[in-house]
Amino acid sequence: MRGDPSGRLDHTQLHRYMIVIAYWLTLRSTYFYLSTLRETSAPEREKLEKMTKSFADLSQASPPHLKLKISWLLGIYAVVPGCLAIIAADHYLWDGDLARTLPHSPQDLAWFTLFFVLPHIVASSLLLCNREYIRHYSKPLSYGFVACAVLAFLLPLVVPMNLWLLGFGLLTIHHVLAQQFGMATGLSRATGKLATAWKWTGLVAGVLVYYLFYYSKTVVPERAELLFVTTTTVVSVFGVLTGLTFARAANRQVMAYGWLNFAMIAVAYFAIRTEYFFFAVLAPRMIHDLTAFSFYVVHDVNRGREQGRWVFLKFIPIAMVTPVLAILLASSLKSFVALAVIQFLTLFHYWTERFTWKSGTPHRRYVSLSG
């Protein structure tokens, strides 16, 4: 790259890229919001109905052996007020001892990576390990395998590492937050440009928050102030859109789910402003992974009852099969497999999660929701 003979991007260049991306996404979200002021056309309504039906089918999935409770999904968000309580206790009671002891990110802790980060990625691939699913998803699996291999093994050889990590980080933020936002709009049946504006504003807020997480201490004061003002503005707009989007939610559970997603972003930003960086990652990471594992376990239980299990697993409770195998395999990956392979599995996970849970897929036959 220009200005750096090593080919690496310096922090100034990264800051410029992030500010441009943030403003572009903010303008896109603003466009979607302003578009809600006009009446939705018939073709748009038809498209939105098809999008909504995909999630609505969860309430009618078959077979109905075990249902995933919305109250459990809400309970996962208890980590948000939990993080706030710990921050308050450390500030007022422990004189900041915890902040000085904790690492910058929970992913710096081996046990956290072992139980939350890699198992979630491995588990999604485990669900695909049967002939029915491989046949059904053969085309997207083939395309995705090749594309992810190129991105993980070849692209880092020709792209500056900082730029590659920036792109990888943006994909990760989008994956983590889009799952939760998709659940919220699906549960509320929220459609249209307003719901789209809410989602994109939340993604912009997430990108800004986690950019500050990684680079806030390297930004020059003037630019840091601009980033903080921009982030505060976007998070505030996200709060307003949350109220508008979920004002007509079917019940309090669904409304709470929407507001808890806003709280997840707001608390992460608060953690960064108060320099409790550890909790800015802890809450979204745990919420995302526990939500995904909840779907995986319900899927395992229902499919296991219908299809049966491998003989050597017959003495293991069905609900433990995927979590136990995922943790064991993730432990091996952490110890023996190169970073590029882990990145490949991560990208492949991001890819497969885009289509495996859509309406009409084999995965969806085994997961249904209840209050």
pTM beyond 0.85: the answer is no
- What is the end-to-end Cα distance of the chain in Å, rounded? 54
Q: Is residue 5 part of a domain?
A: no
Burial 83-95 (b: 16+ CB within 10 A, else e): bbebbeebeeeee
The domain containing residue 214 runs over which residues? 11-364
Per-residue pLDDT band at 76 (split at 50, 70, 90): very high
- The count of structural domains within the chain is 1
Choose between 202 and 343: higher pLDDT. 202
pLDDT digits 0-9 by tens, 170-222: 889 999 999 899 888 888 777 788 888 999 999 999 999 988 888 777 766 77
In a domain, 141, yes or no: yes
Whether the CB-CB separation of 245 and 269 falls below 8 Å is answered with no
Residue type, 107: Q
pLDDT higher at 252 or 320:
252
Asked if residue 370 is part of any domain, the answer here is no
Report if residue 178 sits inside a domain: yes
Tell me what the mean pLDDT of segment 47-67 comes to. 51
221, part of any domain = yes
Report if residue 340 sits inside a domain.
Answer: yes
> pLDDT tens digit string along 132-159?
888 888 899 999 999 999 988 888 888 8
Considering 59-63, 311-315, 345-349, the range whose residues carry the highest mean pLDDT is: 345-349
Q: What is the pLDDT of residue 313?
A: 44
| 194-215 core/surface letters (b: 16 or more CB in 10 A; e: else) | bbbbbbbbbbbbbbbbbbbbbb
259 part of a folded domain: yes
Cβ–Cβ < 8 Å for 366, 297: no
Handedness of CA 159, 160, 164, 167 (dihedral sign): negative
Question: At 308, which amino acid appears?
Answer: G
Contact 231/271 with Cβ under 8 angstroms?
no
Mean pLDDT over 119-126 rounds to 79
Query: Residue 268 domain-assigned?
Result: yes
